[in-house]
Amino acid sequence: MPFLCRAVALQAMCAGECRTRTEISLIGVKTVFATLSCVQVTRISPALGALVTGVDLCQPISNDLRDAISANLVEHQVLFFENQPLTPVQHRDLAQRFGELHVHPIYPNSGDAKEIIVLDTNDKNPPDSDEWHTDVTFIEQPPLGALLSARVLPPFGGDTLWASGIAAYEALSDSFKEFILTLTAEHDIAASFTIERYGNSPETRKMVENARLKNPPVVHPVVRTHPVSKQRGIFVNYSFTTRIMELSTRESEMVLNYLTSHVSKPEFTVRWKWKQYDLAFWDNRLTQHYATADYMPHRRVMHRATILGDKPYLESGIAS
Ligand SMILES: O=C(O)CCC(=O)C(=O)O
């Protein structure tokens, strides 16, 4: 989104006096600040990520604030809000302001709100998100975003990293871009939600089998167009993408290995060190994330709400 549009969107966030400022650094790295009487958005990393201060998300939010957050989400791809002690019901209600919510077929949910996934990892339930992935790409209309709240944290470790599929795509050579624009890939829930890990009792085995039956593999473009910004980005991930339809098995492995490791280059990432009640809101359409699994035997509890999106597509005819 052009800077000017974003500034206008931000002005809608506060009823009081507003002041906006946009800065572009001399070395060409985009650094944008928008300062208002109550809300500030500060970019924290070149490829993606911004810290938003001056908002209380425990209160119902206005349509103007919702629209401004959505616009900033597209611009920065992941937004961080500190000190938002949301109950599961408040968390669900907030997420619902951005769209219909997904109910995960395997992860446990909060008793108070079935749309809130509880990721409670400890030495009996070791972490499983230490792989670069985009959430729930195994359905026809994968999530547009997710809101992750930190509840219980280890004394150190447990940071999460996000990577921009847009920055990663833009860094490819023109010839390679042209090649991958022609490709589609299969995404399969079974690639990550295995019977061995998630189905070790008769009940959980049935749950995993049912989840697979209800979620047969789907095919998405390898490069998708962001439906709002119209930017292109890489849309394959290590956890769920199983093969490229137009290539042989070995060619597919080679291209997937390259793309999934390319996306995670540090230059395309931002790393967040959590404090209790921090909330991250990421645009799931063209980002991936990785939760570091370096805190055993300590416990870490996160709550996630997942907002459904639209069917990925590749718009042809636009350069880059
Ligand atoms: O726990 C985290 O930091 C991230 C969890 C995750 O990977 C997910 O919600 O998909």
Distance of CA 296 to the CA centre of its chain: 24
Atom of ligand 1 at shortest range from CA of 280: 3
Pocket test for ligand 1, best of 106, 151, 160 (most atoms within 8 A of CB): 160
CA 291 to ligand 1 center in whole angstroms:
6
Taking only the tens place, the pLDDT of each residue in 46-92 is: 999 999 999 999 999 999 999 999 999 999 999 999 999 999 999 99
Pocket test for ligand 1, best of 138, 148, 159, 295 (most atoms within 8 A of CB): 148
Look up the pTM and report it: 0.89
CA 129 to ligand 1 center in whole angstroms:
6
The pLDDT value given to residue 236: 98
CA 280 to ligand 1 center in whole angstroms:
10
Catalytic residues: 133, 135, 289, 304
CA angle 296-209-200, nearest 5°? 40
| Atom 10 in ligand 1: residue holding the nearest Cα | 135
**Is the Cβ–Cβ distance between 208 and 193 less than 8 Å?**
yes
Taking only the tens place, the pLDDT of each residue in 77-88 is: 999 999 999 999
For the structural domain made of 165-262, what CATH number should be given? 3.60.130.10
CA 290 to ligand 1 center in whole angstroms:
7
Kindly report the number of other CB atoms within 10 A of residue 96's CB atom. Answer: 14
CA 307 to ligand 1 center in whole angstroms:
14
The pLDDT value given to residue 151: 98
Pocket test for ligand 1, best of 102, 118, 289 (most atoms within 8 A of CB): 289
The pLDDT value given to residue 17: 32
Question: Can you tell me the distance from the alpha carbon of 103 to that of 114, in angstroms, rounded to the nearest whole number?
Answer: 7
Delimiting residues of CATH 3.60.130.10 domain(s) in the chain: 3-125+135-154+270-307, 165-262
For the structural domain made of 3-125+135-154+270-307, what CATH number should be given? 3.60.130.10
Backbone angles phi, psi at 80, to 5 degrees: -115, 135
pLDDT band, very low/low/confident/very high, at 38 (cuts 50, 70, 90): confident
Within 6 Å (CB) of ligand 1, which residues are found? 119, 129, 135, 148, 160, 289, 291, 302, 304
| Atom 4 in ligand 1: residue holding the nearest Cα | 291
